[in-house]
Amino acid sequence: MAPALRRINSLFLTLELCSRRNLSVAVSLRVASKGEKASQYAQGETHFGFETVKEEEKSSKVHKVFEEVAHNYDKMNDCMSFGIHRIWKDIFMQRLSPVYGTRLLDVGGGTGDIAFRYVKYLENSTASLDPNQAESHVTISDINKEMLDVGKTRASENGILTSAKRVNCSVDWLEADAEKLPLPDNNFTAYTIAFCIRNVTHPQKALEEAYRVLRPGGRFLCLEFSHVENEALRWLYDQYSFQVIPAMGQLVAGQWKPYQYLVESIRQFPAQEEFKEMIEAAGFRCVTYENLNFGVVAIHSGFKL
Ligand SMILES: C[S@@+](CC[C@H](N)C(=O)[O-])C[C@H]1O[C@@H](n2cnc3c(N)ncnc32)[C@H](O)[C@@H]1O
């Protein structure tokens, strides 16, 4: 075999072995996690993917992941999901159904996908109310400056700021931790968080912050990877996640580890019912959820009443 071919062959062999090792960790973790979630970690410890880390370390590790992927983030989203993430986000915005005058806080807003859809939704609105009479607003908040910087560039390249002006919508960018928002109480009419909360060290604190910054009557909406109930589909999904995604990260973006973390972090996030209870525990009422693609992702909704 030619040396170049041998190198490619051995790269694929290494990728396959790594994937298999991680899949078996995933499977054993799922078995171990049944009914013993609370006792899984010692005091002051948490998970970073399948790794156990000190709570104070997690945030900087997550920060590094998104710093590394920021410039390939949108391209990789399209590759990994075959573009389906766009449909999930469109459905998410339809569920929110914003109107002129909505004051939205999008937490973990990253490169702006949700906020841009919000502006576009208002622009395409057929509501008879004159947008000039009702000022709308969106704050795109993220802990990571690199992600926000990519978002700002995209906003000007895609004409989002012009669209926002057209519908009398102000746009702010905010570098902040979802667990500790530097924002006043009762300030927003809607709070969205998409594919972010599983990365937060204390999701319960983030939910409490969401409750605090929303006005009474305000809507909480979360889009997040969730749990596939059907065993056969879950097996297929696990194969794809562990065998393909990190390898795709390596081939397309030259990075394995962030994508390994992505698939591991999804398995660590509470299932639909448990997350619903967490949202209720934060004070939200009328909490419901909707599975998309058999639970690959779920939309959780709640109201501050
Ligand atoms: C997977 S991206 C999602 C970005 C965007 N919402 C989307 O749907 O495309 C997750 C984002 O959450 C941010 N993030 C992670 N931990 C956070 C925290 N504690 N507070 C705020 N943002 C956080 C990351 O920096 C990253 O931009």
Output the DSSP codes for 221-287. EEEEE----SHHHHHHHHHIIIIIHHHHIIIIIS-SHHHHHHHHHHHHSPPHHHHHHHHHHTT-EEE
CB count within 10 Å of CB 223 equals 25
pLDDT score of 55 more than 60: yes
pTM of the model: 0.87
Assigned domain for 21 exists: no
Query: Quick check: 223 and 88 in contact, CB under 8 A?
Result: yes
What's the longest Cα–Cα distance across the chain? 72
Residue pLDDT, tens place only, 174-230: 999 999 999 999 999 999 999 999 999 999 999 999 999 999 999 999 999 999 999
What is the C-alpha to C-alpha distance for residues 167 and 62, in angstroms, rounded to an integer? 35
Assigned domain for 232 exists: no
The identity of residue 136, as a single letter, is S
Beta-bridge mates of residue 220: 191, 302
Assigned domain for 103 exists: yes
Distance (angstroms) between ligand 1 centre and the Cα of 94 equals: 21
Sheet holding 285-292, edge to edge: 169-175, 136-142, 103-107, 188-194, 214-225, 297-303, 285-292
What is the C-alpha to C-alpha distance for residues 13 and 36, in angstroms, rounded to an integer? 35
* Mutation test residue for ligand 1: of 143, 152, 292, the one with most atoms within 8 Å of CB: 143
Residue pLDDT, tens place only, 89-132: 999 999 999 999 999 999 999 999 999 999 999 999 987 677 77
Assigned domain for 27 exists: no
Assigned domain for 2 exists: no
Task: Look at the chain and report how many structural domains it folds into.
Answer: 1
Q: State the binding site for S-adenosyl-L-methionine.
A: 111, 142, 177-178
The identity of residue 182, as a single letter, is P
Residue pLDDT, tens place only, 64-94: 889 888 999 999 999 999 999 999 999 999 9
pLDDT score of 21 more than 80: no
Antiparallel, parallel or unpaired: β 214-225 and 297-303: antiparallel
> For residue 202, which phi and psi values (nearest 5 degrees)?
-120, 85
The length of the chain is 305
CB count within 10 Å of CB 130 equals 9
Assigned domain for 122 exists: yes
Tell me how far the alpha carbon of residue 108 is from its chain's centroid.
Answer: 7
Ligand 1 binding pocket (C-beta < 6 A) is: 62, 66, 107-110, 113-114, 142-144, 147, 177-179, 194-196, 199-200
The identity of residue 119, as a single letter, is V
Assigned domain for 297 exists: yes
* Secondary structure class of 27 (helix, strand, coil): helix
Distance (angstroms) between ligand 1 centre and the Cα of 214 equals: 19
What's the confidence (pLDDT) of residue 24? 38
What is the chain's percent helix, strand, coil content, to nearest 5?
A: 55, 20, 25
Instruction: Give residue 193's domain range.
Output: 83-225+271-304
CATH number, residue 106: 3.40.50.150
The identity of residue 289, as a single letter, is Y
Name the DSSP letter for residue 187: -
Nearest in space to 125 (alpha carbons), one of 166, 88, 154, 74: 166
Highest mean pLDDT, choosing among 48-57, 128-137, 265-274: 265-274
Assigned domain for 261 exists: no
User: How high is the mean pLDDT of the chain?
Assistant: 88
Q: Extract the tokens encoding 100.
A: 């002129």
Name the DSSP letter for residue 184: -
**Banded model confidence at residue 264, pLDDT cuts 50, 70, 90:** very high
